[in-house]
Amino acid sequence: MKKVANAGVGVMLLKDDKVLLGKRNDDSIKADSLLHGEGTWTCPGGKLDFGEKIVDAVKKEIFEETGIKANYLNVVSVTNEIVSDAHFVTIGFLCKDFEGEPKIMEPEEIVEWKWFSLNKLPENIYPPSLKLINNYLENKIYKGD
């Protein structure tokens, strides 16, 4: 069977130069990550469903995972992530205009939400989220990865 790339979305929720990251469950099944992100810190996001508009997917994922309503989104990153058994192209968004505070909406998958200063990020960040943050900080949408 031919393997194909999947599409995903991720979003940097930014408030006062702090980015919201969620701690994925250490259990690989509960973390629900095809890219083996268990135990890592991640931006909100997920897989793009067939027929779904990209912006609708981003807003849905933010709300489903955090309870936050996004008002305005801006594309800041495109990444290409390949591991032995999965391949994702992820479109990364920036959201500074939103309503609400983060809540743990999917406790099996994300065990904690926390705001991190862009100057003091945790070490164990989910690779697509780290690329999204770095692309934003370096003002580069795509780095040819």
Contact 35, 127 (CB under 8 A): yes
Each residue of 4-18: pLDDT tens digit? 888 999 999 999 999
Q: Whole-number mean pLDDT of the chain?
A: 90
- 55 in a domain, yes or no? yes
- Which residues fall within 8 angstroms of residue 129, CB to CB, at 6 or more apart? 10, 21, 40, 41, 42, 43, 45
- Report the alpha-carbon distance of residue 130 to residue 121 in Å, rounded: 10
Number of domains forming the structure of the chain: 1
CATH number of the CATH domain containing 43:
3.90.79.10
pLDDT for residue 31: 47
Look at residue 106 and tell me whether its pLDDT is greater than 50.
yes
- Which residues fall within 8 angstroms of residue 1, CB to CB, at 6 or more apart? none
Domain of 54? Answer: 6-138
- 145 in a domain, yes or no? no
